[in-house]
Amino acid sequence: MQLITLNSISITKITKIMKKTFLIFVVLWMVYGVTSAQAQVKYCMNFSEFAANQWEQADGVSVEPISAAKRRIVQSSDFRISSSDKKLEKKFNKEVFAVMDGETLYVNCRNFRYQGTHFGPGYAYGFRYDGDKLIIANRKIGTGVLMLAGLTGVVPSAPGIIVAYGVTEIQLADKVCYLVDSEAEKNGKTKIKYVDDQYMKEVLVDKEEVRKQYDAAGDKYGRQSAANVIQTLMAAGLITKGD
C-alpha cells in the first residue's frame, strides 16, 4: 500500500511539474512571438514611396516614446527609433520618412516646417489620408506659438476610445493635425499645412452630418484637436489604413 501511495504521490508531482513546464513554455513562446513581431517593421524613405505604398522590411528596430521632459528640452516629436545596430538606428532617425509598426503609422517630422518653425527630431503618429496624402498629429507650432508644447485644457469626450490603428483618443487630445501632400523641396525640408476650421469646412462641404459632428466638439481648441479631426475624417471616409 505504501508503494502505491508513494507512486501516486510521485505521479502527482510529475504531473504538476509537467503542467508548470508546459505553461512556462507557452509563456516564453508568446513572449518570443510578440518580441519577434515588434522587431520587424516596414519603412519608406520619402513621401513619394509612402504615397505609392512602397515599403521595405527592417528587423531589429523598435519605436520608443521620448520622455515628456526630453521633448520639452529638445522640442522633439513624441517617438524615436531604437536599435542595437547604431548605424541602422541613425538611418531611421535621420533619413527614413515613415515607419509602419503593425497597424500604427509613425512619421519622421525632422524635416517638416510650418510657418518657418520645425518640430525637431522624432516621429509622430500618422494616418493615410485621402488615398495618397498624409495627416500627422503633433504639437502646435508656428508664428505666435512660442514654446507651447501642445494645446492645453482639451479633454476628449470619451478618453481611451480607439481612434484608429492602435492610437487612442486620449493620445491625440493635446495635439493638432497637419497635412503633408508633397515631396520635400530641394533643401530637404517639407512644408506642411495646418488642419484648421477653414480646411475642415472645405473638406466637409458635401458632408453636412459629418461637419455637424466636427462642430459639436465646442470651441476651436476642441474642434481642432487631433482627436476630433481624426475621428471626423474617419467618419468622412478619408482616413484609411496606414499601409
Q: What is the pLDDT of residues 51-77, one digit of tens each?
A: 999 999 999 999 999 888 888 777 778
- Parallel, antiparallel, or unpaired: how do β-strands 167-168 and 162-164 relate? antiparallel
66: DSSP letter: P
Say what the pLDDT of residue 210 is.
95
> Into how many domains does the chain fold?
1
Helices (H), 75-133: 86-94
CA distance linking residue 173 with residue 225, whole number of Å: 6
Say what the pLDDT of residue 12 is.
53
CA distance linking residue 181 with residue 134, whole number of Å: 6
What's the chain's average pLDDT?
79
- pLDDT class for 145, splitting at 50, 70, 90? low
Helices (H), the chain: 2-39, 47-51, 68-74, 86-94, 169-172, 197-203, 208-215, 220-223, 226-235
Entry pTM: 0.76
- pLDDT class for 202, splitting at 50, 70, 90? very high
Q: Give percent helix, percent strand, percent coil of the chain, each to the nearest 5.
A: 40, 25, 35
| Domain coverage including residue 231 | 2-240
